[in-house]
Structure 1
Amino acid sequence: MNNSFSASGKLYLIPTTLGDSDPLEVLPASVQREVERINTFIVENEKTARRAIKKLVPSKSQPSLNLFLLNKHTDPADIPGFLKPCKEGVDVGLLSEAGCPGVADPGADIVKIAHREGIKVVPMVGPSSILLAMMASGMNGQNFAFNGYLPIDKAARKNEIKSLERLSQEKDQAQLFIETPYRNNKMLEDLVQYLHPATRVCVACDITLSTEYIVTKPISEWAKTKVDLHKRPTIFILQKEF
């Protein structure tokens, strides 16, 4: 592994908003400056990336943009070539669809290659739904784990929910996970059905948006709560205490 920076171009990890909000409300001016300066970006979706760039820097020339697509359809053999501009002295921006690149995000593959190739990686400040939810949950911020998506199969999902509950108690560890937005309501129903009444659950929805909803309470209280999470980006956190 090459531990020195052999390339003069850098890889900037550029965060975006978590939804349709004013980017300058949640992103520092430094992000705007770099997006204004950089013309080569690695993105998940060209249309949404162009929209995000336009919203942050309205004056930026769209024809000047050089975009590499990194998503589930990308041929893995093509990915290393996305960093070729860095080796030629050109800075490249890795732009997330929402929040911070590299965290629950395919951009981690690019960052891994950048380190291997001796390309300097520059993370930029921006909103992370995982960290913001954890901050606002009131749960153990010194020991937590992000588990991504839980199984879709009913029996497997039940077992995973109960396993996470056991882990949270045994390790005093908050357990975070997400669901496809159109199945959020079913997820909350499953948590109410399978978890112990005293287990605390945080539902953090539409973080940083005007419709933001962040509430933590025991399952016994969630069983009596009506909230519509349908198609709203949501982080779930559970913790069963001693």
Structure 2
Amino acid sequence: MATLYLVPNVLADGDWQTVLPAQVKSILSHTKYFIVENIRTARRFMKQVNHEINIDECTFYEINKRTTTTDLPHFLKPIADGHDVAIISEAGCPGVADPGAEVVKIAHKQGIKVVPIVGPSSILLALMASGLNGQNFAFKGYLPVKPQERVKELQTLEKTIKNTRQTQLFIETPYRNNQLISDVLKACSPSTLFCVAANITGENEFIQTKSIQDWKKSGVPDLHKQPVIFLLG
């Protein structure tokens, strides 16, 4: 039976074998149809895993802001013809804060076998390393960009933490990291715990959890244009 594989990608530069299972190499080497966010970066990743892959024999379907919902079923057509298809995330795991989830939803409706491959998730790795509540947590995605709306959302998150002890995780566009951190330090209570997890699995990985009060004393490193996930607890 042809299968839809969900293939994870690395989170940071380095040897893929330190964070991905050997199964990834086998799947990428034997699959000819791929659903990706960016063809160029997907091709580069595949060559890093196995430089002997003949990229010219592969077919790529891009899923991004320009992709319409009517395009998605077409991406799965090779499976009906007996060919495996693999979704490759741009970073981390497909379907988790990732547009591949829409394709997976269609695959289930069509009765297609879906196989997730173990890989790094910045959400889980940051939660593991934060020391915050891992029994009850929520990933909020991006917070509002407008300052007043962002402050209001942060205050709402703090109320949730106080009432339920639910850890709150969120991200920001890398070039706005420093502004987000500044807003968190201004808006949140001194005792609230704030974890900053940057470049997870990379050589310059930085993960620290401190109270807002302690962050104000020590300062936060410059994280402009770096991959970061933030947690409040």
TM-score by length of 2: 0.98
Tell me the CA shift for residue 21 of structure 1: 1.6
Query: In the aligned structure 2, how far is the partner of 1:140 from the partner of 1:32?
Result: 35
Aligned to 1:194, which of 183, 187, 201?
A: 187
Shift in Å at residue 226 of structure 1?
A: 3.5
The aligned length equals 232
For 1:138 and 1:16, locate their aligned partners in 2 and report how far apart those are by CA, in whole Å.
25
Aligned to 1:111: 104
Name segments (4+ residues, structure 1) moved above 6 Å: none
Residue in structure 2 matched with residue 40 of structure 1 by the alignment: 33
Return the letter of the residue paired with 1:187. L
Q: Distance in 2 between matches of 1:105 and 1:232?
A: 18
| Aligned-residue offset at 1:212 | 0.2
Amino acid of the residue matched to residue 228 of structure 2?
Answer: T
What does residue 180 of structure 1 align with?
A: 173
Structure 1 CA distance for aligned equivalents of residues 195 and 220 of structure 2:
14
Q: CA deviation at 1:169?
A: 1.2
Matched, 1:133 2:132: no
Structure 2 residue 44 is the aligned partner of structure 1 residue 51: yes
Q: Of the candidates 203, 206, 225, which is equivalent to residue 231 of structure 1?
A: 225
- Gap regions ≥5 residues in structure 2: none
Q: Deviations over 1:127-146 (max 9, x none)?
A: 00000000000011010000
Identity, % of aligned positions: 52
Amino acid at match of 1:125: V
1:208 counterpart = 2:201:
yes
What is the correspondence of 1:163-174 to structure 2 with a 5 Å cutoff? 163-174=156-167
Alpha-carbon displacement from aligned partner over 1:58-114 (angstroms, at most 9, x marks no partner): 110110111011111112211111001111111100000000000000000000000
5 Å matches for 1:12-161?
A: 12-161=5-154
Q: Distance in 1 between matches of 2:225 and 2:72?
A: 31
1:76 is paired with a residue of what secondary structure? coil
CA distance in 1: counterparts of 2:180 and 2:160, whole angstroms: 19
**CA distances 1:187-214 after superposition (whole Å, capped 9, x unpaired):** 1111110000000000000000001000
Unaligned runs of 5+ in 1: 1-7
Aligned to 2:4: 11
Per the TM alignment, residue 16 of structure 1 is displaced from its structure 2 partner at its CA by: 0.5
